[in-house]
Amino acid sequence: MRQRLSIARAFAIKPEILLCGEPFSALDEHTGNALREEFRGLLSQTKATAIFITHSIEEALRLGGRLMVFERPARIAYETRLRLDMTQSDLDEVRSHIRRAPAG
């Protein structure tokens, strides 16, 4: 419930940019999935940009439009843009690149 309230507060002020530091990490799978879909819908409706930090590859693939993997000290180890028409093979290739990127 707190996560939903935090998301509602963030969108209530009609921001152009949202900074999200693992907002769904502490949730059970069902609630997390529901909130991810709600979040995606709100981003689409409001046209806001979200800078979303996550350690979950699947979450990044589900929510991302542009994906960056960082290594220390704050260097981009891998970057790609995700398209709505990506095939499972395309997504598997992105997963592979992410897993091979330096962890830093």
Over the stretch 76-97, which tens digit does the pLDDT of each residue have? 999 999 999 999 999 999 999 9
Which residues make beta-bridge pairs with 49?
Answer: 17
Residue 4 has pLDDT above 80, yes or no: no
**R_g over Cα of the chain:** 14
pLDDT at 27: 86
Pairing of strands 66-71, 75-81: antiparallel
The string of pLDDT tens digits covering residues 37-79 is: 989 999 999 999 999 999 999 999 999 999 999 998 889 999 9
Residue 35 contacts residue 27 (beta carbons within 8 Å): yes
C-alpha–C-alpha distance, residues 66 and 90, integer Å: 14
Residue 24 has pLDDT above 80, yes or no: yes
pLDDT at 25: 86
